[in-house]
Chain A
Amino acid sequence: MYKIAVIGGPDSVAGFRALGLDAYPVQDAQEARRTLREIARPTDDPYVIIYLEETLAAPILDEVRRYDAQPTPAIILIPGRDGPIGIGQEALRQAVEKAVGTNIL
């Protein structure tokens, strides 16, 4: 039994709060970075999934990629209110390139 968190703009996270996810509303990417670092730390009751809004993830991808090789937490990029901006897809493409050498999708 583990927790799920969502980091995003105040408007984006409100809907998730209704489902019982822990919402962390932030204003900008720097705040997102701090929050992410804070909640991704291993504790007794860690977050297994952290959903992060794409627009906030764009400037702090280095921070996001750090967790790729670890079993937990899974940092999943989700589109914000204005629809997807392609970073989530891009991350997938990069994983494929890393593994196979070329983009096969």
Chain B
Amino acid sequence: MAISYKPTRMEMSRLKKRLVTATRGHKLMKDKRDETVRRFITFVRRNKELRERVEALMAESMQSFVIAKATMSSAAVEEALCYPASAARIGVESAKVLSTEVPRLSYIPTETHGLPYGVLGTSSELDNAVARFSELMPLLIELAEVEKTCNLLADEIEKTRRRVNALEYVMIPQLKDAIHDISMKLDENERGNLTRLMKTKDMLKQKEG
């Protein structure tokens, strides 16, 4: 869609102002994009590292759980775990990474000390498995925070890049074209006017002479 305009001086100065704004906006957006990408990369590296660690530890924890199940009847395991400790809660604050709001999560561990069940009728393997899981928890929370941040930043980067491209390849060239067109038309009018004046002067001279 080309910009519609009237070939007037007013219109041209208006378009010139828009061009200045667009150029400035383009520069800012581009800076924002570059910086967001830089931050994003550091987050993504941490995300990858965390995910690898969590995945490795998770497999171990699950395994220790399987062992626990093998030493006790599965009904007993269910029974031991069906009374959960007081619910785990999580604190959420928000931080800003270049005007993108990202969550900051903090783990608030359950208040019960130790295990959520009695020692009678449960095996030490189960204790072990639960302990492993609770070690894993802070990592899992951090993973959640970092992964969400990465997703939100990726989205923001995509949007910013679209804006940069729209300005660079559509908006700014169209404005430049429009300004060029108007200045050409104005020049042409001026030349037309000049010729007309010269012609009129000639005609007046012939009449007198």
Closest to B103 in A: A71
Chain A residues with CB under 8 A of B140: 51, 76, 78
Closest to A50 in B: B144
Closest to B57 in A: A79
Q: How many angstroms from the CA of A88 to the CA of B52 in the assembled complex? A: 10
Contact B103 A48 (CB under 8 A): yes
Main secondary structure of the interface of B (DSSP, over half): helix
Interface size class of B (residues with CB under 8 A): 35 or more
Does B143 touch A at the CB level, under 8 Å? yes
Does B153 touch A at the CB level, under 8 Å? yes
Does B155 touch A at the CB level, under 8 Å? yes
Chain A residues with CB under 8 A of B87: 3, 20-22
Determine how close the nearest CB of chain B comes to the CB of A39; give it in whole angstroms. 14
Interface size class of A (residues with CB under 8 A): 35 or more
Contact B51 A88 (CB under 8 A): yes
Contact B101 A74 (CB under 8 A): no
Choose, from A30-38, A55-63, A92-100, the stretch at the interface. Answer: A92-100
Closest to A76 in B: B144
Q: Which residues in B have some Cβ–Cβ distance to A below 8 Å?
A: 37, 40-41, 44-45, 47-48, 51, 54-55, 58-59, 61-62, 65-66, 69, 77-78, 81-82, 84-92, 94, 101-103, 105, 108, 110, 115-117, 129-130, 133-134, 137, 140-141, 143-145, 147-148, 150-155, 157-158
Question: Which 3 pairs across A and B sit closest by C-beta, in order of nearness?
Answer: A20-B88, A74-B148, A99-B154
List 23 interface pairs A-B (beta carbons < 8 Å), by A numbering. Answer: A3-B89, A4-B90, A14-B77, A15-B61, A15-B65, A16-B133, A17-B82, A18-B130, A48-B105, A68-B152, A69-B152, A71-B152, A74-B147, A78-B58, A79-B62, A84-B55, A92-B48, A92-B147, A95-B150, A95-B154, A99-B157, A100-B157, A104-B41
